[in-house]
Each structure stands twice: as C-alpha cells, then as structure tokens.
Amino acid sequence: MTQQLRRRKARIAATWSGILAGVAAAAAMTTVMAGSAVAATTLGASAAERGRYFGTAVAANKLSDSAYTTILNREFNSVTPENEMKIDATEPNQNQFNYANADRIVQHARSQGMQVRGHTLAWHSQQPGWMQNMSGTALRNAMLNHVTQVATHFRGQVVAWDVVNEAFADGSTGARRDSNLQRTGDDWIEAAFRAARAADPNAKLCYNDYNTDDWTHAKTQAVYRMVQDFKQRGVPIDCVGLQSHMNNQSPYPSNYRTTLSSFAALGVDVQITELDIEGANATWYRNVVNDCLAVARCNGITVWGIRDSDSWRASQTPLLFDNNGNKKPAYDAVLQALNNGVTPTTPPTTTPPTTPPTTPPTTPPTTPPPGTGGCTATVSLNSWTGGFVATVRVTAGASGTNGWRVTMTLPSGATITNAWNTTRSANSGTVNFTNVSYNGRIAAGQSTEFGFQGTGVGTGMTPTCTAS
C-alpha cells in the first residue's frame, strides 16, 4: 500500500470517528434532555420544580436515627423544629436561653441545603413555669424580649417564623382565645409581629393556627379579618399558616382552595404548616396538594412528622411513611400530584366575606342524650425532654356510647398545658376527661381520640373509661 493511500484511509477513519463521536454526543444530550423531563422522584425535588417547598417537622433527638435521617435527607427540602424552638425549650429560665437542640436541627438542615421555618415565638402553650406565673406589663415585656432574643439568634438562618401561634378560640364566636398573653391587651399579637420584624427584617412573618381550613368557619373568618386589618394598617405580616390537622371530626373541606386563595388575595403568602391526615387518606392528601398548587401564593407544605411512629397522633397513622419508613399510598398520591402540577389561578375577583357566616356550622347537641354502653381507653405518648403529648383513643363497647369520661392520674410533677377534643377537670393529679359536643356519640366498636400536651414526664398513665 502506498504512503498516499495510507494517509487517505487515515483521514477517512478520522472523519468517521468525528461523526460517530458527534452522534454519541447528540445521543447523550438527548438522554440528558429526556432525563430533565422525567418526573422527580422525591417530594422536595418535585415541589422545587413548582417553585415551592415540601417540608417536615423534625425532632432533634431523632437525628441520630439513621433510618429517620435517610428519609429526611432524601425527601424534604424544608424543616420545622417540632418543639425545639418553642418558649419552654429556648428560654427555660427567664433571660437564660438554650439553643442547643434548635441549633442542631438548623445546622443539619442547612448542611443538606434545606430551608428552615421557625416555630414558634409567642404562644399561650408550652410556656415555661416562670412565664406561666407572670401577667400584665411584666409578661408583655418578657414576651417581647423572648421574641427579640430568639429571632435575633436565628437571623439569616430561618426563612419564615410562626410569630404567633393559635391565638383564636374554637367555636362559633370568632373570639380571641383567653390566655395570659391575651390578657395583656388586644394588641399583643401586633406587638409580637413588630418585634419580630425589628429582630429579623428578612424573614417572612406568619400567623399560624388550626381549625382554619374551612372558609365558612367563624375562626377562619376571624383570622382573615385580623390579617386584613394588619395589612391595611401596615403591621408587618407576610404569611398565614394553616396547620391542617385533618381527621373524621375535622375533615378536608371542599372549600379549602377558597380559604387559601382568599388569604392570598390579601397580599400574603399561604403555607400549610402542620399537615397530617387521619388514616393517611390518599384522596385528602392529593386534594390538599392540588389546592395549594392551584394558588400561586401557596408556597409550601410541611407534614408534621416523617413516619407514623414520629407523629404526635401516632395511633391515627396520619403520615406518608409507616412505622418502618415504607412509603404509603398517600405518599404516591402526593408525589403524583406534585409532578402533575396544577395551573395557578388568580385570586378571586369577588371580595371575600369579612363577617362570620350568619349560620354557623351545625354541631351535635352540647349534652348527649342518655344512653348506655361500655368503653375502653388506651394512651400513646410522644415525649421529649421536659414534655410530652398524649393521644388517648376511646373505643365504644357493644352498645355504643352517647357520652364518655376517661380518668387518668398524671405522674408527679406533670402538668397539662393544652388539650383538644375534650374537657378536663384539672391540670395535674387525677384528671377526668369528658367528651365535647361532637365526639360523645360513638357507634359500637368505633373509636374517637382526644389529646393533651404536658410538661414533665408522662409515662405510666393508665386510663379508665366510663360510658353513658
């Protein structure tokens, strides 16, 4: 073969090599482009593609659980400390602040590229003993100092604060909740928001509450009017948090999207801050996500825990992962809803109502009619250093119930700070818990739940149940 022929073959080979390389590169690019169109496989990644976050509540003592942190790091892009930023945790003694556990959560989140929501600066519950015993001007000043000190400590690390938590009462009146903070004057919420803005000018400031999902409820309307007033007067408020703890007594409302869009129309963001749904109802979870995606200013969802065993309502199995960390059908429904997306709608053109509905939601009679039937009660605990949440399940016997009373003796030193779905006779010692208007009647073999939060240690409680 001549030298000239060898050179010609070499040039041809080089040409084909370049062509093949180009084809390979194009194929690779096609693969990358196709890959970018493939649906996200985790909650946080899918939410981020929609310009939102999908977060979870985190407990510091579980960050040493590798199964827990594996799911946390993989699935979520936002974190809310479950108890570690609350008043009793951060200021156990007046002017003596402890941020160790909260800092641990913040550092873990930031190391994983997650954002942090702060929860909560001012609340009637989970106050340390020194604050519970204060009133008037002294309490107001102590509250403002707490807001200032805590928000300053986390300045630049927290994207949003639940500045005030649960300040409105349940029921049909739309009234403020009676508390030691409320008794310092009607402007205490406004004062807390102004102090938070001064301490952390770049964080979004939120008002957070439960039982505000249904647009027709008086409590929802009362919160709406407060936010409307704050916006009109220039009080710094940037967002409203709906806790959205849903169960058979407080189901997903068909007007949930109206609630979200009506608050958004005031010029604030809306965040679903503590989502959990009894039985992990996949349809309700999907509806909540779709409703949030449909409202442009609904910018994030936080589920209140990772696995069912991490939930304050563990016996209701309300979360997206079971006790072993396996994905539940509700997880698939949420991820599919996030990946499908929903075209946001503009705020309603009609002015939302500014007064409570003239006909409040129908509730059962306050006093259940007489009846017979036995019942049993079981208690489950979610504990942390210095406090606990107890969830009590009441199950009717063969005859059903028209009312019930559960009696428990709290351990020495334990004190109840808050309760829901029940009326209690005391805050310590032997306590009788009785049904409220809507959960006294239980069909044979069926159950209802109530709960309470306490300071101290909650272990060793043995409930007894009496039915009427």
Instruction: Tell me, yes or no, if 274 is annotated catalytic.
Output: yes
Token pair, residue 366, equals 């306050």
Side chain identity at 345, as an amino acid letter?
T
Token pair, residue 180, equals 């030691």
**Cβ proximity of 128 and 387 under 8 Å:** no
Among the listed residues 84, 274, 278, 449, the single catalytic one is 274
d(Cα 426, Cα 5) in Å, to the nearest integer? Answer: 103
Q: Please state the three-class secondary structure of 117-167 as a single string.
A: EEEEEEECCCCCHHHHCCCHHHHHHHHHHHHHHHHHHCCCCCCEEEEEECC
Map tokens 């409202």 to a residue.
Answer: 295
Q: Which one, of 402, 399, 405, 406, lies nearest residue 378 by Cα?
A: 406
Supply the residues annotated as catalytic: 274
